[in-house]
Structure 1
Amino acid sequence: MRARTELTGRVIFQGEPGYEEARKNWDPHTDRYPKVFVFARRTQDVANGIRWARENDIPIRARSGRHALEGNLSQVNGGIVIDVSDMNSIRLDKKNGTVVVGTGNRVGRIANALARQGFIAPFGDSPTVGIGGITLGGGIGPLQRTIGLISDNLIELEMVDANGDIIIANERQHSDLLWASRGGGGGNFGIYTRYKFSVRRAPVRATVYRIAWPWEQFEEVLMAWQRWAPSVNTRLGSELTIGPKRGGNVMMEGLFLGSRCEAVRLLRPITSIGTPTERLIRSLPYRQAVNFLLPPDPVLTQRYSNQFSSGFGREPFPRQALKPMREFLEQVEGEDAGFFFLNWGGAVSRVAPEATAFYWRDASFYVEWNSSWTVPSEAARNIEVVRKTRRKLQPYIVGSYINVPDQGIKDSGPVYYGANYSRLRQIKAKYDPRNVFRNPQSIKPAKRD
């Protein structure tokens, strides 16, 4: 039966010009063949896309920055992809300390636009990640110990539900949806079109740093980092990456919202470890500091496919945890593969686990690891080595980060959302009782009595 609703926006059906370009994601292994892409230019385009999909009984996927890391999350064979990337307005209200952004904005665009006007916008480790998705999963990054997760700064949203109706959620109306949207993950409740964040003034200058060590010193550096990083001054964010044995090194970088002199002092317990091959500590105007931490990260020209997994460490890894890490790093290769650690605490941990949907508040650090490959025949081996490493690290981690999904995790709801999962299921049942917005690891609606 022909749908009653017409698709609006920039519409590209399979077989039409531009389809292959529309199908590309940051990670090549997430490719699927949807029936149609709708690049929404206004909220009504999103509503029309949802209604059209319901009338045609085809699956729906939302897409913002094209950074979904698993298959069937932002694309689906034979379905409709409603892409909000053309909805990228930014309206800063300096007087009230808020910014309203379209969910198609990429994180780097917002961070740089606000930095030019003297304000802080939180960001992660890539400028091209979409604000639409990163916010819903929590939104971690080097500023989180000072200003909280990206989602902690979310104060209002606009969302289109499964009926194609537009909902505004804030603390006064639909506050349960606002709660769920602060860490409950994308693709669960509806398609989001606009966010309002609280923002704060940026310092005139900030200190950035990058320290590198030979790969062979990763165990010594990690043991020191995980003792130091969670308790250092909360104005200091620290990311530690450990690359593969073949061609990789150990690198720590981040920023400190303070002077270079103080940063040098705070970093000394870790810069004194091993024999660093690079030691950069530099005071920059805040806008330049943002650029330093968000180097170019092309979306459509990424060569490596990846498999990720993640967790949170409540205690420092003991020595025995380093064995599976070493085994993993000896097996994987590629410029993007390895381990990534981010220090926790500060503003993140001052929020109670049940205050937002993001549950994992009391960790000492976040950890993720990934393999990478370019030849499709190597996918199975690389996926398995990541999941095998998760099994071996399980005694030392809790939970997992929904924005770094791993479809090898069974019964994933409590793993991603902890004790908040049951409440999320209730909210899912309220806003999407027929489970229209679903994917392989989406939240299942609670059963009605």
Structure 2
Amino acid sequence: MYHNTKLTGMVVYPNDPEYQQARMNWNPFTNAFPIVFVFAQKIEDVSNAVKWARENKVPIRMRSGRHALAKDFSQTNGGIVIDTSHMRNVTLDKKNGIAKVEAGIRVGQLVRMLAREGILAPFGDSSTVGIGGISTGGGITAIQRTAGLISDNILAVTLVDANGEVLQVNACENSDLFWAIRGGGGGNFGIITSYTFKVRTAPSKVGIFEIIWPWNQLNEVIDAWQRWAPCVDVRLGTILEAFSKANGLLHSQGIFLGPAAELEKLILPLTNTGSPIKVFVDEVTLLEAIDFWAPNEPLFDTQNTTWSSTWVKSSLPEDGIAAIRTFLERASGSESNFFFLNSGGVMNQIPPQETAFFWRNTRYYMEWDASWTDKCETQKSIKLVEQARLQLKPYITGSYVNVPDLNIKDYGQEYYGDNFERLRKVKERYDPENVFNFVQSIPPAHICDEKDIDD
């Protein structure tokens, strides 16, 4: 098929001094021992790496921001890691509201760069996440109710396929693949080297708020937030974080694409709940709002962490909130938490089948994690996360592919809902030999045994 392809770009082998640094990830629980890293400088390096891996029968993993949340997604023992983090060029066409972005840039750097130009682009709560990794899984963000998901703003991508060939993907060229990469998860169909995004003019002023309560008010605060946040003005994106009892705090914050005076009135249902320790409201520039929402953080964490995630279509009853409380009472790590982000607005106006991202008609998103530093806490933490999911099961729907949970067996349905079978057909067309294959990847349509999907 190929003939002695040579690896190009910055190539790092296990004996090289750069190897230990190359294999580090934000979540140390996901670290592995690949046989080679290729830090691509240009698209040809990605293409050569795919061809080399095919010739040498080496499993492929790809990454941009090193933010994988579960094992075997962005690196694997004995595999090649094709890393796009050195490819960070951004070209902005202000007049047409378009930004062409290479896949290696981190979200924080990108949205700050655009904000300085007076441009608003969707962003999440972590600056160090790679745009290459977050975008294809959907990309939930602080402003998704106004601007949609990150994937909803993709106009085109350049992608290296399973043969090492470069494809242009948009509504006219490879349109079925264009549908799939907007929510179909990272790494399933090829290696994206650049995105073309729709962007919009930033508001001149942005309202921000922060409220903190004592932990013992958890039940009433969660209930007040979940009844208020999904129905509030769509210009307001808000989160709630309920940290472990060991930490002892409940925290909500939000970004409002409008004036602070209006924001103060909108958050009254929250400020009137319980007895807040802190209430902060301000009017700032977009750049200041980004610093508030997604402050710069260290690239690597010291705590191991395991996650699960879901969406909620109707408010949690008392039993659901009780399950959250039990988890937070048992979780030992101070950073362990339940995290809520409101849905609605533009995010919910797009039909579930229009793009591969299926989970549209929801009130809010929820994720929870258990963190630990001592190895003997590993199994306890994994079990805690899984028990919380089982207790919440009657009240939740689906799971977010960007926050993968290896305990989920029927992961195709959980991540992609009714879009899973169509995604398998697209996989069959573009990667029939299942070259881009990992622990929870989308199998081609011809792999019809359920056992193959579960394994």
After superposition, residues 198-237 of structure 1 pair within 5 angstroms as 198-237=198-237
In the aligned structure 1, how far is the partner of 2:209 from the partner of 2:36?
Answer: 44
- Supply the AA of the counterpart residue of 1:386: V
- Supply the AA of the counterpart residue of 2:283: S
The structural deviation recorded for 1:3 is: 6.3
SS at match of 1:75: coil
- Supply the AA of the counterpart residue of 1:440: V
Q: How many positions carry a matched residue from both structures?
A: 448
Q: 1:392 maps to which residue?
A: 391
SS at match of 1:405: coil
The structural deviation recorded for 1:333 is: 2.7
SS at match of 1:341: strand
Kindly indicate whether residue 317 of structure 2 is the aligned counterpart of residue 318 of structure 1.
yes
Q: 2:444 maps to which residue?
A: 445
Structure 1 contact 244–334 (Cα < 8 Å) conserved: yes
- Supply the AA of the counterpart residue of 2:400: Y
- Residues 251-282 of structure 1, C-alpha deviations (whole Å, 9 max, x = no match): 00120000010000000011110111111110
In the aligned structure 1, how far is the partner of 2:332 from the partner of 2:295?
Answer: 22
After superposition, residues 135-174 of structure 1 pair within 5 angstroms as 135-174=135-174
Structure 2 contact 243–250 (Cα < 8 Å) conserved: yes
In the aligned structure 1, how far is the partner of 2:100 from the partner of 2:108?
Answer: 15
In the aligned structure 2, how far is the partner of 1:114 from the partner of 1:93?
Answer: 11
- Residues 302-351 of structure 1, C-alpha deviations (whole Å, 9 max, x = no match): 11111100110000000111221111001113242110000000010000
- Residues 139-168 of structure 1, C-alpha deviations (whole Å, 9 max, x = no match): 001100000000000000000001000001
Q: 1:193 maps to which residue?
A: 193
The structural deviation recorded for 1:375 is: 1.2
Structure 1 contact 69–307 (Cα < 8 Å) conserved: yes
- Residues 217-276 of structure 1, C-alpha deviations (whole Å, 9 max, x = no match): 111011011110000000000000000001231000120000010000000011110111
Q: 1:280 maps to which residue?
A: 280
- Supply the AA of the counterpart residue of 1:401: Y
In the aligned structure 2, how far is the partner of 1:336 from the partner of 1:218?
Answer: 16
5+ unaligned residues in a row in structure 1: which ranges? none
The structural deviation recorded for 1:398 is: 0.4
In the aligned structure 1, how far is the partner of 2:31 from the partner of 2:148?
Answer: 33
Structure 2 contact 423–442 (Cα < 8 Å) conserved: yes
The structural deviation recorded for 1:283 is: 0.1
In the aligned structure 1, how far is the partner of 2:99 from the partner of 2:160?
Answer: 20
- Supply the AA of the counterpart residue of 2:178: L
In the aligned structure 1, how far is the partner of 2:306 from the partner of 2:60?
Answer: 24
In the aligned structure 1, how far is the partner of 2:51 from the partner of 2:220?
Answer: 56
In the aligned structure 2, how far is the partner of 1:205 from the partner of 1:438?
Answer: 45
In the aligned structure 2, how far is the partner of 1:138 from the partner of 1:337?
Answer: 24
In the aligned structure 2, how far is the partner of 1:263 from the partner of 1:324?
Answer: 32
- Residues 423-442 of structure 1, C-alpha deviations (whole Å, 9 max, x = no match): 00000001100000011110
- Supply the AA of the counterpart residue of 2:361: D
In the aligned structure 1, how far is the partner of 2:435 from the partner of 2:297?
Answer: 33
After superposition, residues 302-381 of structure 1 pair within 5 angstroms as 302-381=301-380
Structure 1 contact 321–393 (Cα < 8 Å) conserved: yes
- Residues 117-141 of structure 1, C-alpha deviations (whole Å, 9 max, x = no match): 0000111110000000100100001
- Supply the AA of the counterpart residue of 1:279: V
5+ unaligned residues in a row in structure 2: which ranges? 449-455
After superposition, residues 20-99 of structure 1 pair within 5 angstroms as 20-99=20-99
In the aligned structure 2, how far is the partner of 1:378 from the partner of 1:335?
Answer: 13
In the aligned structure 1, how far is the partner of 2:447 from the partner of 2:272?
Answer: 59
Structure 1 moving runs of 4+ over 3 Å = none
In the aligned structure 1, how far is the partner of 2:162 from the partner of 2:402?
Answer: 22
RMSD: 1.3
Q: 1:259 maps to which residue?
A: 259
In the aligned structure 1, how far is the partner of 2:51 from the partner of 2:248?
Answer: 49
In the aligned structure 2, how far is the partner of 1:6 from the partner of 1:415?
Answer: 39
Taking structure 1 as the reference length, the TM-score comes to 0.98
- Supply the AA of the counterpart residue of 1:98: I
In the aligned structure 1, how far is the partner of 2:3 from the partner of 2:405?
Answer: 36
Q: Kindly, what percent of the aligned residue pairs are identical?
A: 49
SS at match of 1:424: helix
- Supply the AA of the counterpart residue of 2:164: G
Taking structure 2 as the reference length, the TM-score comes to 0.97
Structure 1 contact 238–343 (Cα < 8 Å) conserved: yes
- Supply the AA of the counterpart residue of 2:53: A
- Supply the AA of the counterpart residue of 1:32: A
In the aligned structure 1, how far is the partner of 2:94 from the partner of 2:247?
Answer: 46
Distance verdict in 2 for CA 1:296–1:333, change over 3 Å: farther
Q: 1:179 maps to which residue?
A: 179
Kindly indicate whether residue 406 of structure 2 is the aligned counterpart of residue 407 of structure 1.
yes
SS at match of 1:308: strand
Structure 1 contact 3–56 (Cα < 8 Å) conserved: no
- Supply the AA of the counterpart residue of 1:417: Y
Q: 1:10 maps to which residue?
A: 10
In the aligned structure 1, how far is the partner of 2:45 from the partner of 2:379?
Answer: 38
Structure 1 contact 181–357 (Cα < 8 Å) conserved: yes
SS at match of 2:230: helix
Structure 2 contact 222–321 (Cα < 8 Å) conserved: no
